[in-house]
Structure 1
Amino acid sequence: MGWGRGEAVDGSETGWGRQAEPAPRWRALLDRARLAGRGAEHHDVDHRGEETPAPPPETLPRRAAGTGWTGRAQAVARPADASFGAEPAYRVEATYRVEPAYRVDPRYGGEPAYQAEPAYRAEPEPRAEPSWRAEPEPRAEPSWRAEPVRQPESGYPEPPPRGRGTASVESRYALLDGGYQPEPAPAESRYALLDRGRYRPEAHPVPEPARIEPPRIEPARVEWRAPEPETELERAAGVLRRELGGPRVLAFANPKGGVHKTTATVLAAATVGSVRGRGVLAWDDNELRGTLGLRAGSARHARTIRHLIHDLAQIEILEGATLLEHLDDYLRHASDGSYDVLAGEESPRFAQRLDQFTVKRVLELLRRTHDVVCVDTGNNVESPNWRTVMQAADQLVVTTVPREDAAFSADWMLDLLHEEGMGELADNAVTLISCPTPGRTPLQDDLERHFATRTRAVAVVPYDPALETGSSIEYHQLQAETRQGWLKAASVMLEPFAR
């Protein structure tokens, strides 16, 4: 039997296996301990001169050392003083042994402030822990976020199985005082702990499984940059590369001779052909002896428009590649292959055979094989072929030089076209001013202002010494400034048709 197990002490049993001393001795001892720790008065028994000492208790039997109950005796009363006549220690019977389950609380000791309750009551049943410290049962994780349960790697000994014995349940803090090692909490997934707000990554490190990350491909970034402003030359070349919506006929006209009609026809065809690469032809439709065949193209044969008209009936019934193959026998080619040439007849008697009907048939044949046809119309505005070309032309180019007679002839021709019912062709015409000499004359400024009021646009091409000789025209031998001027002039001619 022991006092720590809630058994009452009635004074009839001492716990040492012998009959107890009379009850008054025990009561005196308890009364002294109670009076020593009551209220704020804590008097030491050695201070005999300050207070009236309590009557000395009767002598109690002294116990032998080593019984295991020394701590409990000190908790009840002070050590026996020799002045009170302590009796010899009693011998503990061999049948007594300390219950193994009992552990002395180190905080429990015999101090003067301790007072024994009159009636020792059994330790009450432990109350349930508050909700703020109670460990909730782990709930099942959903299948979409549950992780494998990882057993903690701890060195705790295996806790005793629950449910054994009849000892009352004690709080986990009291068990820790007695050397109890807490049972490791069941492993919970970090997501469940996060749900309850108790998870801290630094306190619950969870090693991530090793996995191979796929190579990260950065999405391509599309950076928009404002396009640089297009230069005038780039814009002109772009116009010449576009689709023209069908074959186009450009008629170069001025009744006055020596105003660069043939030169303009050759250089316009060479410029457009150098950009487009194919499908450009220059035709010398001068009823008199023309020089276009001499200034442009290679003389690989002596065939002219007369030979073509002779075989026109057999050629115009052909189609596709066969037509191109047979027509090529009547054409001459530029040295760089950028354009073709249909030379005019040198004999004046042939002009009678170029009637209106024949000119229409030739133009129709050339439209089937080429995209751009540049026609040198000659000087006779009364001839049927001149009027037929004007009626079939898509763009009229009025050629002139900065001279008053050349400008007067061009202005008179525009009036004639209005009288003949071709005023729209005249209004949409392009005036091309060729400079036969270097430098700029005051008359050129007057001509530009005048023809700007009569035609759609005015283009000026600079002087080039390679054109003074009157020999064969080689486009690549011209100066850069000359080629740039003709590039701008050609784009102005075809701009209304470019798509």
Structure 2
Amino acid sequence: MPVHTTPLYSAPGEHQQPPVDPAQALGGQPPAAEDPFQELNWLADNTPTAEEFAKRRLARPAQQSATMGARAMLQNATFGLLKMAPGQYEMEYKQDVEMVRRNFGGLRQVTVVNPKGGAGKTVAVLLLAMTFGQKRGGYVLAWDNNETQGTLGMRAQQDFHARTVRDMMRDLHLFQGAQGRVGDLSQYVRAQGEGMFDVLASDESATAGEMLTANSFAEIRDVVSRFYKLIFVDTGNNVRAENWQASMDATDQLVITMSARNDSAETAARMLDHLEQGGRRRLVRQAVTIVTMPPTRKDIDLQWIQQHFAARTRAVLVAPYERLIDSGEPIRYGELSPPTKDAWLKIAAAVASGL
């Protein structure tokens, strides 16, 4: 079932009465409020210190007012004379953005999986990288770890070059030891402009040659981890491939994608069985499940899918249908509909809470 955020404000028209203090109810005086600054360090003659000034400034709660929707319009219409608190939507939106922006304490890898083709892995990698890039800033990489041919580079924006992970593997000696700078890496990753992230594409040829190995994955990850704080890994459809298994070993947050169809969901469920039997039960239990809606709800059993994965993973979220995504064309963040952006921000916040 979808993740819900506890409302911080009552709905319009509702009024919550503040709790009555027992002392006041009996006619007594309310207890004296504690001074939040009484533990601050003062000099012997009670002269305030710089530490006291800094802590008092940080402890003072920010005055929040509406910046979105009808409340903000009403506030602006009165030139700020009427102060409006943010509505529930704005509060939840800001909470999600704060979650996405929080400090993870080091490099983190999010791996997106489902052995079935067309389950939305590549789209999820792109939209998560876009959302984190937009709300958090750079140092975000989307990496296509397909063992042979992948489609991440096809759905991403094109750059001045068409190099792939195989070109980078050939030139790994350029990054050995302390060698290699961000500018050097730009010859292999594709900048995504307004998306504020980069793409490391897999070879887009069906006759690329040998499959990637576990060592290949480890060597590439060692290089890109010097330049990125957050890596989203797109995976292939062979759960027994060496590079697929290597990506699992390096995963901090697992994301499972599927369309709202029983065949896509069953393939994902069997993959979870495989992961649990392989000793990755904790990774499964902490996973985030994304169910993507089709154009119509005909012949789908969304509730059953949600119930199954809610019992096995940490969160289940639904992504709305988006015609732009369904077109197969390169995805631009600015062209996505507001409901899609909101849904993927909620998904990104759920992913971030596990990092």
User: By the TM > 0.5 criterion, same fold?
Assistant: yes
Distance 1:368 1:225 in 2: 36
Secondary structure, counterpart of 1:352 in structure 2: coil
Structure 2 residue identity aligned to 1:240: V
1:328 aligns with 2:186: yes
1:381 aligns with 2:236: no
Contact 1:378 1:386 in 2 (8 A): yes
Aligned to 2:351: 493
Distance 2:339 2:266 in 1: 28
Secondary structure, counterpart of 1:287 in structure 2: coil
1:303 aligns with 2:163: yes
Aligned to 2:340: 482
Structure number, greater radius of gyration? 1
CA spacing shift, 1:287–1:469, aligned 2, 3 Å: same
Structure 2 residue identity aligned to 1:297: Q
Distance 2:195 2:93 in 1: 23
Aligned to 1:367: 225
Contact 1:303 1:330 in 2 (8 A): yes
- Which of 279, 284, 287 does residue 421 from structure 1 map onto? 279
Cα-Cα RMSD: 2.1
1:246 aligns with 2:106: yes
After the TM superposition, which residues 260-279 of structure 1 pair with which residues of structure 2 at under 5 Å, given as runs? 260-279=120-139
Structure 2 residue identity aligned to 1:447: I
Structure 2 residue identity aligned to 1:385: N
Structure 2 residue identity aligned to 1:437: P
Structure 1 residue identity aligned to 2:103: E
CA spacing shift, 1:369–1:307, aligned 2, 3 Å: same
Contact 1:271 1:486 in 2 (8 A): yes
Q: CA deviation at 1:495?
A: 0.9
Structure 1 residue identity aligned to 2:134: S
Secondary structure, counterpart of 2:134 in structure 1: helix
Structure richer in helix, relative to its length: 2
Q: CA deviation at 1:350?
A: 4.0
Secondary structure, counterpart of 1:369 in structure 2: coil
Distance 1:427 1:378 in 2: 22
Secondary structure, counterpart of 1:418 in structure 2: helix
Contact 2:130 2:195 in 1 (8 A): no
Distance 2:141 2:60 in 1: 44
Aligned to 1:284: 144
Distance 2:258 2:203 in 1: 25
Contact 2:260 2:300 in 1 (8 A): no
Distance 1:350 1:316 in 2: 25
CA spacing shift, 1:316–1:435, aligned 2, 3 Å: farther
Distance 1:393 1:286 in 2: 16
Structure 2 residue identity aligned to 1:418: E
After the TM superposition, which residues 7-406 of structure 1 pair with which residues of structure 2 at under 5 Å, given as runs? 231-318=91-178, 322-350=180-208, 352-406=210-264
Distance 2:63 2:202 in 1: 51
How many residue pairs match? The answer is 274
Ranges of 4+ aligned residues in structure 1 off by more than 2 Å: 222-230, 316-319, 346-353, 438-442
Q: CA deviation at 1:425?
A: 0.8
Secondary structure, counterpart of 1:278 in structure 2: coil
* Structure 1: tracts of 5 or more residues without a match: 1-221
TM-score, scaled to structure 2? 0.73
Aligned to 2:16: none
Distance 1:310 1:303 in 2: 11
Q: CA deviation at 1:225?
A: 8.2
Contact 2:191 2:199 in 1 (8 A): yes
Distance 2:256 2:209 in 1: 23
Deviates more, 1:302-311 or 1:355-364: 355-364
CA spacing shift, 1:451–1:475, aligned 2, 3 Å: same
Distance 2:169 2:150 in 1: 17
Aligned to 2:325: 467
Contact 2:293 2:321 in 1 (8 A): yes
Q: CA deviation at 1:288?
A: 2.7
Aligned to 2:5: none
After the TM superposition, which residues 449-464 of structure 1 pair with which residues of structure 2 at under 5 Å, given as runs? 449-464=307-322
Contact 2:113 2:254 in 1 (8 A): yes
Contact 2:261 2:300 in 1 (8 A): no
Summarize deviations over 1:289-327 as a string: whole Å, max 9, x none: 1111011122321110011000112224335xx521111
Contact 2:149 2:204 in 1 (8 A): yes
Distance 1:404 1:487 in 2: 26
Distance 1:294 1:270 in 2: 16
Structure 1 residue identity aligned to 2:315: A
CA spacing shift, 1:224–1:371, aligned 2, 3 Å: closer
Summarize deviations over 1:378-427 as a string: whole Å, max 9, x none: 10111100000011111110001111110100000000001111111111
Contact 1:287 1:351 in 2 (8 A): no
Contact 1:297 1:340 in 2 (8 A): no
Secondary structure, counterpart of 2:193 in structure 1: coil
Deviates more, 1:375-384 or 1:432-441: 432-441
Contact 2:112 2:125 in 1 (8 A): yes
Distance 2:195 2:270 in 1: 37
Distance 1:404 1:223 in 2: 52
1:434 aligns with 2:292: yes
